[in-house]
Amino acid sequence: MATKDETTTGTKSAKGAWQGSLLIGLKFALAFLLLPLVIGSTAALQGQIDGFDATIKHTLWSGLVIYLILKFFVYDFSHVYKFGQGMVTFCFQFLKPLVNAASYVIPIYTVFVLLAYAAVAALGQLAAWKSILLTLVSATFSMHIILTAQDLYAKDSVFGKPTYFFGMELVYIIDVFLIALVMNVVLPGFSFIEFFKSLGGVSLGMYKTAFGQLFGF
């Protein structure tokens, strides 16, 4: 016959397992709900990039390709990424609840490069540095997103990776939003207002379609 302590322990274990399963299900549901925002933010950013001339678009795509080639065949940049995370953590150490998340959601190297772009433009030296700086913008942002995904994926040991999917989608949305804000200030021709309108239009359209399919609206 089970003792009172054994019964209590069993009840707590069952309750903990039920709560754990509920939390996993909630994370999957939230990841599904965030998906239109991921697609919308990507489409909005791509729409703004498409508004640039062919040379700038080629330069930005080159940055992504160069980073991928270097990562897979030369150096994985994990130490560079960790150093950047350390800088962000140091800067936000006074905000204890946000310090851990800040290192994931702030692409520090990309911000630095965009600020350098603005400084060079202000000094009238942009013609000589424009291609290099835009390549670095694309390469550093790609590095941040890819290595953040790898880090979050490795830290989630639960079957189906619910924390990874939810966390990575949230990080991606915030990252694109932040980069759009900085690019609006730094890059002539980039409109954050138009970016936001496109993001809202694409995302709301997907939500309406999904809910219409589910509930017959």
Joined together, the tokens standing for residue 32 give 């599904």
Q: How far is the C-alpha of 59 from the C-alpha of 132, rounded, in Å?
A: 8
Q: How far is the C-alpha of 168 from the C-alpha of 176, rounded, in Å?
A: 12
Q: Are 31 and 162 in contact (CB under 8 A)?
A: yes
Q: What is the pLDDT of residue 173?
A: 94
Q: How far is the C-alpha of 104 from the C-alpha of 206, rounded, in Å?
A: 27
pLDDT tens, position by position, for the chain (217 residues)?
Answer: 556 555 555 555 555 566 767 888 888 899 999 999 999 999 999 999 988 888 888 999 999 999 999 999 999 999 999 999 999 988 887 777 677 788 899 899 999 999 999 999 999 898 889 999 999 999 999 999 999 999 999 998 888 898 899 999 999 999 999 999 988 988 888 999 999 999 999 999 999 888 877 776 5
Q: What is the pLDDT of residue 93?
A: 78
Nearest residue to 168 (alpha-carbon basis) of 38, 71, 75: 38
Q: What is the pLDDT of residue 182?
A: 87
Q: Locate the DSSP E strands across the chain.
A: none
pTM equals 0.84
